[in-house]
C-alpha cells in the first residue's frame, strides 16, 4: 500500500505498579503482582485504540494532518469498501452479481442498494486501482519535490530508502496475517479445504504459499494465494513500486514537460500491453507532478502579487474567481462518472444502459479477454479521475480528513489483511444467527434480504475492525519501525 504511520501513542492502563488503585500490598508475592500488572496491560492493549483514548486521553496525542492526509483517508475508505465487497460477494452474491432490475423475471425484485452510485458501498473491485494510484502518488511525491528543487543527492537518498524498505513494508505484515490463517486452518476454525495431515506439512505448505506471495516477477498476474486470496494485490504492489522508482530515477533530470510527456506515454504503453497496474502507479506519479507544478505556479503568483502595487492587484483580481465554479463542476462530473463506472456489476453488464456501451467499446486486449478484466481499463480511468478531482477541489478533501476516516486510514493495511481471515472464521457463524432471525435467504422478500445484508455486515464489522486495530498496533507499526531500524543499521554513515 502506501506509507503508514500515526502520531498516536498508547500507554498501559496504569503507568506503574504503584499507580494502580488495585495494586497489591507489599506483603503479596512479587511474582503475582507482576503477573496481574502484565495481564492488565495486555487487556488494555487489546482494547480498540479509540476506547484507549477515551480511557486515557492524557496519554494519547492528537493525530497530525498533512497536506496529503486526504490521500490516506481515501485509502482507508477504499479498504473498508473492499471489506464490504467481499462480505457481499460471499453472503449476498445476488447484490454483487446483478444490476438493478435484473433478472427481469425475478419475483423478489431488486434492492435499492443495487442502484447506480449506491452500489459503490460494496463495489470493491474499483478500489484496487485507487490503492495503486494513491501508492504511485505517495511513493513519488517527495522524490519529485526534490527533483523540482534540483536536489538530486537528497532525491537519491530518498529513493534508496524507499527501495530498501518497500519489501519489508509490504511483506512482513503478510507473514503475520497468513501465519494466523494457517493456525485457523489447522485447528479447523474456518470451513473449506486446506488442512494438511500433520502440523509439519501445514507449516511447509504455508511457507510455500508465502514464497509465492513474494514472487513479484509476474507484474500484474491474477493469482489467488491459498492462505488468504485477497493478498493477490501485494506482489503486484511490490513489482510496480519498483517500476515507479526506476521511472523516477530515469526521468528525474529531465525537463518537467519532457518528464510529463514521457510518463504519460509510458502509462499508455502499460495500459495497451495489459499492464493496468503500471498505468495506475505511474498515473499517481503524474498527478503528484501536476500538483507540484500548480503549487510552484501559485507560489510565483503570490510572490508577484506581494511585490506588486495595490492598484495592480485590484485590477488583476476580479476576473480570476469566475473560472473556479466551472472547474469545480468539471471535476465533480468526473467523480460522478467514476462512481457510476465503479458500480460495474460482476455479471450482466450488457444489461445496464450506458455501461453496455462502455463494455462494447473497451480497448483491446481487455475486450478480447472479457470477464472481470473487461472493466479494468475503466476502473483505471475512474481511479485517476477520483484522485485527480480530489487534488484539484479542496472541499472534496474535507470528508477524507475527518476523524473517523483518518482512523480508517491508520488501520487500512491491517483492515485489508484482517478482513479475509475474520470473515472466514466468523462469517458463516454470524450469518447463521442473522438468517435464523430474518428467515432463509431464498424464502425472503427483498426488504428482508436487504435487512439481512445490513445486520450481517454490522455483526461482522465489529470483530473485523477490532482485529485490524490490534493488528495495526501489534504488527503493522512495528514492521514500519523495524524497516526503519534495519535501514539505519545497514547503510553507510556519512563522514
Per-residue pLDDT of 271-299, as tens digits, reads 999 999 999 999 999 999 999 999 888 88
Of 55-59, 78-82, 178-182, where does mean pLDDT reach its minimum?
55-59
The mean pLDDT value for 102-117 works out to: 84
Euclidean distance between CA atoms 418 and 427, whole angstroms: 13
Of 11-20, 104-113, 302-311, 346-355, where does mean pLDDT reach its minimum?
11-20
Euclidean distance between CA atoms 79 and 261, whole angstroms: 32
Residue 18 in this model has a pLDDT that exceeds 60: no
Residue 265 in this model has a pLDDT that exceeds 50: yes
**Average pLDDT value for the chain:** 86
Q: Which three cell numbers stand for residue 200?
A: 509439519
Euclidean distance between CA atoms 176 and 431, whole angstroms: 27
Per-residue pLDDT of 35-78, as tens digits, reads 777 888 888 788 888 888 888 887 777 778 888 899 999 999 99
Residue 5's pLDDT is 41
pTM of the model as a whole: 0.87
Per-residue pLDDT of 384-416, as tens digits, reads 999 999 999 988 899 999 999 999 999 999 999
Residue 7's pLDDT is 40
Q: Which three cell numbers stand for residue 400?
A: 477524507
Of 198-202, 310-314, 371-375, 378-382, where does mean pLDDT reach its minimum?
310-314
The mean pLDDT value for 207-222 works out to: 82
| pLDDT-based confidence at residue 467 (cuts at 50, 70, 90) | very high
Euclidean distance between CA atoms 383 and 342, whole angstroms: 9
Q: List Cα–Cα distances, 278 to 356, 432, 452, 478, in angstroms.
A: 26, 42, 39, 29
Closest CA to 172 of 469, 484, 479, 420: 479
Euclidean distance between CA atoms 72 and 449, whole angstroms: 33
Residue 27's pLDDT is 55
On the CB side of 130, how many CA atoms lie within 13 Å of its CA?
28
For 109: left if phi > 0, alpha if psi spans -120 to 50, otherwise beta; the answer is: left
| pLDDT-based confidence at residue 214 (cuts at 50, 70, 90) | confident
Q: What angle do CA 201, 206, 212 make, to 5 degrees?
A: 130
Per-residue pLDDT of 3-13, as tens digits, reads 444 444 443 33
Residue 45's pLDDT is 82
Q: Which three cell numbers stand for residue 478?
A: 512495528
Q: Which three cell numbers stand for residue 81?
A: 469498501
Amino acid at each position: 500500500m502506501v506509507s503508514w504511520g500515526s502520531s498516536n501513542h498508547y500507554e498501559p492502563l496504569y503507568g506503574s505498579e504503584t499507580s494502580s488503585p488495585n495494586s497489591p500490598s507489599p506483603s503479596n508475592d512479587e511474582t503475582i503482582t507482576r503477573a496481574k500488572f502484565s495481564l492488565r496491560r495486555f487487556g488494555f492493549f487489546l482494547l480498540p485504540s479509540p476506547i484507549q483514548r477515551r480511557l486515557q486521553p492524557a496519554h494519547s496525542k492528537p493525530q497530525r494532518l498533512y497536506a496529503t492526509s486526504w490521500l490516506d483517508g481515501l485509502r482507508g475508505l477504499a479498504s473498508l469498501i473492499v471489506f464490504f465487497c467481499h462480505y457481499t460477494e460471499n453472503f449476498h452474491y445476488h447484490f454483487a452479481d446483478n444490476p438493478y432490475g435484473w433478472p427481469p423475471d425475478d419475483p423478489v425484485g431488486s434492492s435499492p442498494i443495487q442502484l447506480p452510485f449506491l452500489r459503490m458501498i460494496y463495489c470493491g473491485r474499483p478500489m484496487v486501482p485507487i490503492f495503486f494510484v494513491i501508492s504511485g502518488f505517495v511513493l513519488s511525491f517527495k522524490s519529485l519535490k526534490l527533483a523540482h528543487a534540483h536536489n538530486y543527492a537528497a532525491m537519491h537518498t530518498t529513493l534508496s530508502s524507499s527501495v530498501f524498505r518497500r519489501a519489508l513494508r509490504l511483506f512482513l505484515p503478510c507473514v503475520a496475517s497468513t501465519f494466523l490463517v494457517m493456525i485457523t486452518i489447522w485447528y479447523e476454525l474456518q470451513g473449506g479445504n486446506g488442512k494438511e495431515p500433520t502440523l509439519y506439512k501445514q507449516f511447509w505448505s504455508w511457507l510455500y504459499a508465502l514464497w509465492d506471495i513474494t514472487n513479484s516477477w509476474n507484474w500484474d498476474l491474477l493469482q489467488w494465494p491459498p492462505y488468504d486470496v485477497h493478498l493477490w494485490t501485494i506482489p503486484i504492489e511490490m513489482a510496480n513500486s519498483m517500476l515507479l522508482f526506476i521511472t523516477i530515477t530515469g526521468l528525474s533530470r529531465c525537463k518537467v514537460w519532457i518528464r510529463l510527456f514521457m510518463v504519460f506515454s509510458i502509462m499508455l504503453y502499460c495500459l495497451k500491453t495489459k499492464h493496468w497496474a503500471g498505468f495506475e502507479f505511474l498515473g499517481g506519479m503524474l498527478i503528484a507532478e501536476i500538483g507540484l507544478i500548480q503549487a510552484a505556479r501559485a507560489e510565483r503568483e503570490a510572490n508577484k502579487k506581494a511585490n506588486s502595487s495595490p492598484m495592480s492587484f485590484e485590477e488583476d483580481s476580479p476576473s480570476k474567481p469566475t473560472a473556479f465554479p466551472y472547474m469545480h463542476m468539471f471535476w465533480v462530473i468526473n467523480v460522478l462518472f467514476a462512481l457510476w463506472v465503479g458500480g460495474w456489476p460482476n455479471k450482466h453488464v450488457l444489461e445496464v444502459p450506458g455501461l453496455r456501451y462502455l463494455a462494447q467499446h473497451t480497448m483491446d486486449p481487455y475486450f478480447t479477454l472479457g470477464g472481470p478484466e473487461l472493466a479494468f481499463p475503466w476502473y483505471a480511468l475512474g481511479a485517476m479521475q477520483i484522485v485527480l478531482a480530489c487534488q484539484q477541489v479542496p472541499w472534496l478533501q474535507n470528508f477524507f480528513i475527518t476523524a473517523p476516516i483518518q482512523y480508517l486510514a491508520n488501520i487500512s493495511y491491517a483492515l485489508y489483511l484482517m478482513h479475509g481471515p475474520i470473515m472466514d472464521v466468523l462469517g458463516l457463524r454470524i450469518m447463521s444467527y442473522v438468517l435464523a432471525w430474518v428467515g432463509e435467504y431464498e424464502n425472503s422478500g427483498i426488504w428482508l434480504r436487504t435487512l439481512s445484508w445490513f445486520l450481517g455486515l454490522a455483526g461482522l464489522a465489529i470483530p473485523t475492525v477490532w482485529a485490524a486495530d490490534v493488528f495495526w498496533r501489534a504488527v503493522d507499526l512495528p514492521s514500519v519501525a523495524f524497516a526503519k531500524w534495519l535501514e539505519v543499521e545497514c547503510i553507510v554513515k556519512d563522514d
